[in-house]
Amino acid sequence: MSEISRGDFIVTIRYSGERTLGECVRSVQNLELEYIIIETSPFWKAVVETFKLGVRENRLFTIGLDADIVLYSDALDKITEFVCSNLGFWRYDFALDDKFYPHIIWGTHVYSTPFLREALKHIPQNIDRITKPERQFYYTMKEAGFQSKEGIPIVVGRHGYDQYYFHIFNRFARRALRNPEHEDVLFKDKSKKINQDSDWLFAWLGWQHGRANRSKEILIADSENYVNIEGYLQKYGIPEKTEVSEWSSETLQERPHMVTRRSITSRFRMRWLSTLRSKMCKKRSCIP
């Protein structure tokens, strides 16, 4: 049996208008995990805030979860089993089923909280101009001597389902610039997909827009740089999707976050910190 308990985790849900905020929150609640919702822009600030909140809450682990992710009911069991068998890494990246990609992707970041103070000392230069700021911390921390566990082939949730056309369009406008080689994988048999599912229509329209407009601004993960798609909605006679949750941006701040502060002094925490010191740290000062 795992020595890690639910109380050893804090979840930060990063929200920037995603349609599935309510589903994301409920999936965390169903796992009986405590969480904090972060609503800020640009995205790099949400990543830094994730680290700061993790340090403040002082749990063994801080999970960074975007609001377009819904965790599966066995996610916590899978995470704790893997982490217990693979001690000594500052970050663990677990897999997700994706609405559009035919293979799993990675996007559930589980951070070893004692290392987050160190991560805050290694904020990438020009982070406001980096297309994937959370990913960039992998490189800055690796240069500082801290290892992460990347590409863990264990699926813990789903990503990108039931989003607004607006978000789908802009996701693939950026993807076309970052990974143009993905076109054949994504849009094989695109006519059939587009006719059956309007999500695929807006994914394709976004891809074409990104390919035709090679702008650095499109690449930046910032909702302020998103392309307005009102013209496309009118052209195809498709209304934008409606809200599916009461967890809208207007009511977000009215709800108390499910957080209680506690001091973790379990035997596992002591063993965990000891392992981190012996396996990872070049400097004893890196662990608080």
Give the tens place of pLDDT for each residue, 160-216.
Answer: 999 999 999 999 998 998 889 999 989 988 888 899 999 999 999 999 999 888 765
Sign, CA dihedral 34-37-42-45, equals: negative
SS3 annotation, 128-181: HHCCCHHHHHHHHHHHCCCCCEEEEEEEEEEECCCCCHHHHHHHHHHHHHHCHH
Tell which wins on pLDDT, 141 or 105: 141
The mean pLDDT of 245-263, rounded to a whole number, is 45
Q: 6-161+248-286 has which fold?
A: Spore Coat Polysaccharide Biosynthesis Protein SpsA; Chain A (3.90.550)
Mean pLDDT across 105-109 = 88
Q: What stretch(es) of the chain map to CATH 3.90.550?
A: 6-161+248-286
pLDDT of residue 206: 95
For position 221, what pLDDT does the model report? 54
What does the pLDDT average to over 18-29?
Answer: 96
DSSP string for 245-268: -S--HHHHTTSPP---------HH
As a whole number of angstroms, the distance between CA 73 and CA 96 comes to 13
Question: Would you state the pLDDT for residue 74?
Answer: 97
Kindly tell me if the per-residue pLDDT of 288 is higher than 60: no
Q: Is the pLDDT of residue 252 over 50?
A: no
Structure tokens that stand for 124 in this block: 């990438």
Q: What is the pLDDT of residues 29-69, one digit of tens each?
A: 999 999 999 998 788 889 999 999 999 999 999 999 999 99
For all residues of the chain together, what is the average pLDDT?
83
Task: State residue 255's pLDDT score.
Answer: 43
Least confident range from 159-168, 225-234, 265-274: namely: 265-274
Look at residues 49, 28, 30, 31 and name the one whose alpha carbon lies nearest to residue 40. Answer: 49
